[in-house]
Structure 1
Amino acid sequence: MSEVQSQPNTQQQDVQQKDFQKRSDAVAKLYNTYPFPPEAILDEPPPGYNWRWNWKTAYNFCTGRLPDRLDARILDAGCGTGVGTEYLVHLNPQAQVIGIDLSEGAINVATERCQRSGADRVQFHNMSLYDIDQIPGEFDLINCVGVLHHLPDPKRGIQALSKKLAPGGIMHIFVYAELGRWEIQLMQEAIALLQGDKRGDYVDGVNVGRQVFASLPESNRILKRDKERWCLENHLDANFADMYVHPQEVDYNVNTVFELIEAADDLEFVGFSNPDYWNLERLLGQSPEMMERANRLSDRQRYRLTEVLDPEITHYEFFLARPPLLKADWSDDDALLKTIPERNPCMEGWPARQIFNYDYKIMNLDDATWEFLSACDG
């Protein structure tokens, strides 16, 4: 009897696997047609920084202290054309970096990009994120930006990555948010309807989308939103295709983001990397009573309250960690006085009195702050 009952399950698994592979192939086809991101390749290191890609600053954000070692092993999971990978190499001169991507065309661009900019401590592999166990060893930092939400099974994806994260290691995740992308979802559906049986022809999809936008009245909500937020980057077809004709996309809210996180094996949520957005004071600070009520909520409920009150959020960026993650305790004055401070390397314009901080926000330094930072350098 057990053999008879197992046959339908096997057939169902075969059907699911075929559908799974079909969707993965569709994603690979998109990025082979339009390698992404489409940023220009330079014969020099990339400009500026992203502090989330700097091992020291990312680790400091998560722990309040510097890492014990700088020769980190870093994985760029779903590296695309290597824009982020290139930064990971140049921002971490002692690290070894590995980039993987499903698209062979994107990997070819990534390889050229890093070769031309002198990013020579990197290896690329044309492979699915699901197959990351084929690469030996563990990683201190895993960067996965704009990838999980394009997988047929994001939970399986984050589980695969979590198994490669070393104890005390951190993982940086970026996934789409549904609230701030509502108009994008509507345009995606409109293009799909107009494409009909030509869905999967991404050049046609871009052409259809361009014509629809050109036809919409100026008062149209979708057009207005595109002009407000997206049109400057979407003049490139690769960006337009990634946004509006992608064959596989999952958009999240706070509740489903934490369901995704809970699928990761034994990883802990460290925090969102844009804490200013999640500060309810900016939304309810004028009402002490409402703030008191909000403070009685759980962390997750407060996060949800924030996004429903400010639904402009288009993505979530956060850090996970594999315990034990050793965090600093600066409540001990003796320990604090014994530390040797170091200036954040992600700082533009220093040593001027007006600089960009790690988040590219302008800061005007008073005398005490400027003297302290100067002493850190000295």
Structure 2
Amino acid sequence: MDDPTTTQTVSDAVARLYNTYPFPPEPILDQAPPGYNWRWYWPTVHSFCTGAAPASGAVRVLDAGCGTGVSTEYIAHLNPQAEVLGIDLSDRAIATATQRCQSSGATNVRFRQLSIYDVDQLEGDFDWINCVGVIHHMPDPLRGLQALATKLAPGGFIHLFVYAAIGRWEISLMQRAIALVQGRQRGDYRDGVQVGRQLFASLPEGNRLKQRERDRWAMENQRDECFADMYVHPQEVDYTLDSLFELIDQSGLEFVGFSNPEVWQLDRLLAADPALLERARQLPQPDQYRLIELLDPEITHFEWFLARPPYPRWNWEDNAALLAAVPTRNPCMEGWPSQSIFDQNYQFVTLTPQEVDFLKACDHHNGSGSGQPPATVADLVAESGFTLQDVQQMQQRQLILLR
């Protein structure tokens, strides 16, 4: 979309939506936010993208399209050495984000009302950009992504999230139905929420749209802010894998991988027929992804990392390099210390006694404030009886970070 007038009109409409319904509508706390999201923690982001933890946490971070600052606040608290900037179109969202971070004591963050199209106004490059749920609401998503790419430092990473067309088919139908009923009142977002709720209430039991809303979205959509963001947004582009990779190919950046890789494993869907699974695995990787997209209409979004080369990659297959690495426990886990934990993806994991001992040794020797000299994998293997294969598996499962 090249018409600047149209682009500005759509951008203004998006800003009006979020001034009417600031999003996300999370409560403001007087303490650091609870829990974690590994995609908002620089060591785990760097480890996912490169295989190794970073040498330093002193990075510049841009939260592009930060909304009310929920992600920005997490990034600031999880990465106290980082310099964090949040930008958004909506002045009301920026005001909320500022209040949120002031209340929780996040002092390494600042905010600015600014369009992603205008990031060339920002000084310097960023090591890490977070842009989740944003570019699909831009009148020209490619232009937005290319603008962000110009601000990504060499060796830097950007995490993105866009909607998936197949998994949001019912949402798309209801969006169009609400717009039809609204007619000339389209753009009155409060009216749109009312019309949408009336439509859902009026549809007969068993209706596919009604059932999908009830089964998948109704709990979060109790809040008008969420309902409006989903059903009356003035601008939305939903992607298929084909259109997604067209976008990536034109971004000037390199695809690192989906940040939810467990979703993109064929055995998740085809394990019941080993012969068929093996046949599907012979497909080129892009076609394996396409097959998963077609077979699982529950996939409602794509989330992935891009990088600006050059950046290092470690796979830790070199035993000498692995033995010399320094392991730390991934702090993105809940329930530790225990054999039963939630891992960085909030998946329930039962650790073996040997894994528990190894993680405890990591904390003792290499944990924050341990006061101990750094212990290498070689040191801990000799101490625990762990094998190098065991260490590799823990790293692949992101239970430990290696540097």
Please say whether Structure 1 and Structure 2 have the same fold, judged by a TM-score greater than 0.5.
yes
Q: CA deviation at 1:287?
A: 3.2
Q: CA deviation at 1:354?
A: 1.3
Q: CA deviation at 1:253?
A: 1.0
- Written as runs of structure 1 = structure 2, the 5 A alignment for 1:97-246 is 97-246=84-233
Residue 342 of structure 1 contacts residue 377 of structure 1 at CA under 8 Å; is this kept in 2? Answer: yes
Residue 158 of structure 1 contacts residue 263 of structure 1 at CA under 8 Å; is this kept in 2? Answer: no
Distance 2:276 2:352 in 1: 35
SS at match of 1:41: coil
SS at match of 1:277: helix
Distance 2:179 2:327 in 1: 54
Which whole-Å deviations, capped at 9, do the CAs of 1:230-266 have from their partners, x for residues lacking one?
110101111000000000000011111111111212x
Distance 1:255 1:329 in 2: 28
Match for residue 5 of structure 1?
none
SS at match of 2:198: helix
Distance 1:62 1:158 in 2: 19
- What RMSD over aligned residues (CA atoms) do the two structures have, in Å? 1.2
Greater mean alpha carbon deviation, residues 157-166 or residues 288-297? 288-297
- Written as runs of structure 1 = structure 2, the 5 A alignment for 1:24-103 is 24-103=11-90
Match for residue 6 of structure 1?
none
Which whole-Å deviations, capped at 9, do the CAs of 1:271-327 have from their partners, x for residues lacking one?
001111111112223334433432332211111111101111010110011111101
- Written as runs of structure 1 = structure 2, the 5 A alignment for 1:365-376 is 365-376=351-362
What is the one-letter code of the residue matched to 2:306? Answer: L
What is the one-letter code of the residue matched to 1:234? Answer: N
Distance 1:372 1:217 in 2: 57
Give TM-score scaled by structure 1 length. 0.94
Match for residue 301 of structure 2?
315
Match for residue 249 of structure 2?
262
Distance 1:89 1:18 in 2: 36
Match for residue 297 of structure 1?
283
Q: Which runs of 5+ in 1 are unaligned?
A: 1-11
Distance 1:57 1:345 in 2: 9
Which whole-Å deviations, capped at 9, do the CAs of 1:1-54 have from their partners, x for residues lacking one?
xxxxxxxxxxx96xx211111111100000000000011111111110100010
Match for residue 328 of structure 1?
314
What is the one-letter code of the residue matched to 1:53? Answer: W
Distance 1:54 1:168 in 2: 17
Distance 1:63 1:283 in 2: 28
SS at match of 2:264: coil
Q: Which runs of 5+ in 2 are unaligned?
A: 365-403
Paired residues in the alignment total 364
Which whole-Å deviations, capped at 9, do the CAs of 1:109-129 have from their partners, x for residues lacking one?
000000000011111110100
Residue 162 of structure 2 contacts residue 302 of structure 2 at CA under 8 Å; is this kept in 1? Answer: yes
Distance 1:138 1:220 in 2: 50
Match for residue 249 of structure 1?
236
SS at match of 1:218: coil
Distance 1:236 1:289 in 2: 46
Residue 266 of structure 2 contacts residue 281 of structure 2 at CA under 8 Å; is this kept in 1? Answer: no
Distance 2:160 2:246 in 1: 14
Residue 268 of structure 1 contacts residue 323 of structure 1 at CA under 8 Å; is this kept in 2? Answer: yes
Residue 95 of structure 1 contacts residue 121 of structure 1 at CA under 8 Å; is this kept in 2? Answer: yes
**Residue of structure 2 aligned with 1:342, choices 324, 328, 339:** 328
What is the one-letter code of the residue matched to 1:140? Answer: D
Q: Percent identity between the aligned chains?
A: 61
Q: CA deviation at 1:353?
A: 2.1
Match for residue 380 of structure 2?
none
Distance 2:179 2:142 in 1: 26
Q: CA deviation at 1:341?
A: 0.5
